[in-house]
Chain A
Amino acid sequence: MSAKEYLRERFMPHIWCPGCGHGIIMNNLVRAIGSLGLKKSDIVMVTGIGCSSRISGYLDFHTLHTIHGRALAFATGVKLSRPELTLIVPMGDGDALAIGGNHFIHAARRNIDITAIIMNNNIYGMTGGQFSPLSGYGKMATTAPYGNIYEAFDIVELAKGAGASFVARTTAYHVTSMKEILEKAINHKGFSVVEILSQCPTYFGRKNKVGDAVDMLNYYKDQTVPIGSEKKKDNPALIERGIFVEEERAEYCSEYQKIVERAKRGQQI
């Protein structure tokens, strides 16, 4: 199946800047869905606000473009009412973890069968380059002209701690493994978190003088290593990528259905 079949070309050109990593993620996401053989009508994509959230408009699924940080709340509602559908929720780092931080940890704790993709470009791009909870200490942003004094979240550790049963990290550079990870995440029954480092040359790149899109992709290539790599021992600053957690655990909708069954039996007695 060609990736084009998943696109709503009527709504293009898209809003993403030249060099943005989000298009690479969209490309791999539809390829992953294609190789899983999922039907377009079986997929619901829910997004919040930001550059990343516009992905829902461009894809030919049941799409729900909601409010800032609340994509997971809307998705939880859809999944509970239609558990047979596949829920995919792409979010930005600010959307998912600042505005939507509470929804994120509780969706993870519930282990509801939703695939959360965090397109992490370390900044609020759409609104003009404000620092996000993923920008990191010492980084520059329009709202941190003298340097950011906040430490960044570690999305993988946060998702693990909150109870997600599938946690992975990859980058816009590692397209082959990105597709494989997305396939596994979508297939996984439970709350799946996939952090994908995605370059924002327009704001994060420019403000932090890390070069253009190619330089930023090279940075992902050089500064990340597979989980357990020997290189990390010599250089702890390297970022690990791969699948950190993949566990079978009671899923929320299934547990809820059990309650329904129990209550129904109670009525008969």
Chain B
Amino acid sequence: MIVNVMRGGPSTGMPTKVSQGDVMQARWGTHGDHAIITLTASNLQDLFAITVEAFNLSETYRTPVILLLDEVVGHMREKLILPEPGEIALVQRLRTSVKEGTDYHPYLPREDGRLPMSDFGGVHRYNVTGLMHDMWGFPTDNPQVAYGLIRHLVDKIEGHVQEVTRIKEYFLDDAETVLVSYGSSARSALHVVENRRARGERMGLLELQTLWPFPTDAVRERCEQAKSVLVVEMNTGQILQEVRKALDDPEKVFLANRIDGTFISPTDIRNILRVIQGKGV
């Protein structure tokens, strides 16, 4: 489990200033075809739960999970109620039942695609390598084996988007304007939505906690009926592009953002809403 508390970039950028510029870096920050799970949260109570969730997903799918936070959530002090031990279900690692002395294939998936593990340094001796490998973990460039491994690594995540998707919904049922946001930006977005609802405006918020694999279906479903969709984030539009890809009419998707190391405020969002709603700048 890798925690990246984003700060303004690129390069050494702006130390301790807020940014959400690493969304694509979390997705594509390594070379080669691969899938990855990336989670985020907007408040400390959610962050506690999602951290446990990150370990659970990591164990379930046998994959690194990136917890992608931003400076505001990272530095924030907030009330946190710690659950009792056992209150949050923990996923135990799937371990092999192959006995000592029997030929164990660490990289031979079961029928359900999962690979029971044997603790490294334990009863089975096997090879672990970063190279393309066969079912014993030995390096290979056999096309069939390489194809099978790439498909396995990608499909085990991309084939379970629904199971990995974590979202939070606020006033979405009849929303004509849907805000899509994540991390600390979602706090400003929620503030705007709550105020507008109080004035009777049909506005809702879709908060993403799973950024990768991108919850395309969930986003499409929640934004389908909306007249306009506003993505709120602190980068040049990294999630904006994904939302546009997810929708049949991408021209209704707009961006409210900041890229200057300053936290995006409700006023920033309201200014964009005025433009979208034709009320002038």
A63:B126 contact, CB within 8 angstroms: yes
Given A10-B136, A11-B138, A57-B139, answer yes or no on A78-B129 (Cβ-Cβ < 8 Å). Answer: no
B121:A65 contact, CB within 8 angstroms: no
In the complex the two chains form, what is the Cα distance from A44 to B119 in whole Å? 13
Residues of B within 8 A of A67 (CB): 130
Q: How many residues of B contact A (CB 8 A)?
A: 13
A61:B131 contact, CB within 8 angstroms: no
A interface SS class:
mixed
In the complex the two chains form, what is the Cα distance from A62 to B120 in whole Å? 7
With CB as the reference atom, state the residue of chain B lying closest to A84: B121
Q: How many residues of A contact B (CB 8 A)?
A: 20
Partner among B123, B129, B138 whose Cβ is within 8 Å of the Cβ of A41: B123
Contact with B along A42-68 (1 / 0, CB 8 A): 001000000000101100111111110
A65:B125 contact, CB within 8 angstroms: no
How far, in Å, is B129 (CB) from chain A's closest CB?
A: 4
How far, in Å, is A162 (CB) from chain B's closest CB?
A: 27
Check B1 for interface membership: any CB of A closer than 8 A: no
Check A239 for interface membership: any CB of B closer than 8 A: no
Check A238 for interface membership: any CB of B closer than 8 A: no
Check A188 for interface membership: any CB of B closer than 8 A: no
Contact residues of B between 56 and 92, Cβ < 8 Å to A:
none
In the complex the two chains form, what is the Cα distance from A202 to B132 in whole Å? 26
Partner among B125, B131, B136 whose Cβ is within 8 Å of the Cβ of A62: B125
In the complex the two chains form, what is the Cα distance from A260 to B127 in whole Å? 31
B interface SS class:
loop
How far, in Å, is B120 (CB) from chain A's closest CB?
A: 6
A62:B126 contact, CB within 8 angstroms: yes
With CB as the reference atom, state the residue of chain A lying closest to B131: A65
Residues of B within 8 A of A82 (CB): 121
Residues of A within 8 A of B150 (CB): none
A62:B130 contact, CB within 8 angstroms: no
Given A10-B136, A11-B138, answer yes or no on A57-B120 (Cβ-Cβ < 8 Å). Answer: no
B120:A65 contact, CB within 8 angstroms: no
Check A103 for interface membership: any CB of B closer than 8 A: no
Residues of B within 8 A of A64 (CB): 120, 127-129
Partner among A54, A57, A78 whose Cβ is within 8 Å of the Cβ of B121: A78
Check A207 for interface membership: any CB of B closer than 8 A: no
B130:A44 contact, CB within 8 angstroms: no
Residues of A within 8 A of B131 (CB): 65
Partner among A11, A41, A66 whose Cβ is within 8 Å of the Cβ of B125: A41
A65:B129 contact, CB within 8 angstroms: yes
In the complex the two chains form, what is the Cα distance from A65 to B133 in whole Å? 11
Check A160 for interface membership: any CB of B closer than 8 A: no
Residues of B within 8 A of A78 (CB): 120-121
Partner among B123, B127, B130 whose Cβ is within 8 Å of the Cβ of A57: B127
Given A10-B136, A78-B120, answer yes or no on A61-B130 (Cβ-Cβ < 8 Å). Answer: no
Residues of B within 8 A of A63 (CB): 125-128
With CB as the reference atom, state the residue of chain A lying closest to B140: A11
Residues of B within 8 A of A44 (CB): 120-121
Contact residues of B between 147 and 191, Cβ < 8 Å to A:
none
A40:B125 contact, CB within 8 angstroms: yes
In the complex the two chains form, what is the Cα distance from A54 to B121 in whole Å? 19
Given A44-B121, A78-B120, A78-B121, answer yes or no on A65-B136 (Cβ-Cβ < 8 Å). Answer: no
Contact residues of B between 106 and 140, Cβ < 8 Å to A:
120-121, 123, 125-131, 136, 138-139
Contact with B along A1-22 (1 / 0, CB 8 A): 0000000101100000000000
Partner among A40, A41, A54, A65 whose Cβ is within 8 Å of the Cβ of B128: A65
Residues of B within 8 A of A61 (CB): 125
B121:A85 contact, CB within 8 angstroms: yes
How far, in Å, is A91 (CB) from chain B's closest CB?
A: 15
In the complex the two chains form, what is the Cα distance from A60 to B277 in whole Å? 69
B127:A56 contact, CB within 8 angstroms: yes
Residues of A within 8 A of B128 (CB): 63-65
In the complex the two chains form, what is the Cα distance from A78 to B129 in whole Å? 15
In the complex the two chains form, what is the Cα distance from A221 to B121 in whole Å? 39
Extra inter-chain contacts (19) besides given A62-B121, A82-B121, CB under 8 Å: A8-B127, A10-B136, A10-B138, A11-B136, A41-B123, A57-B138, A57-B139, A61-B125, A62-B125, A62-B126, A63-B125, A63-B128, A64-B127, A64-B128, A64-B129, A65-B129, A67-B130, A78-B120, A78-B121
A-B contact pairs, 21 of them (CB 8 A): A8-B127, A8-B138, A10-B138, A11-B127, A11-B136, A41-B123, A44-B120, A57-B138, A60-B125, A62-B120, A62-B125, A63-B125, A64-B120, A65-B127, A65-B128, A65-B129, A65-B130, A65-B131, A65-B139, A66-B130, A78-B121
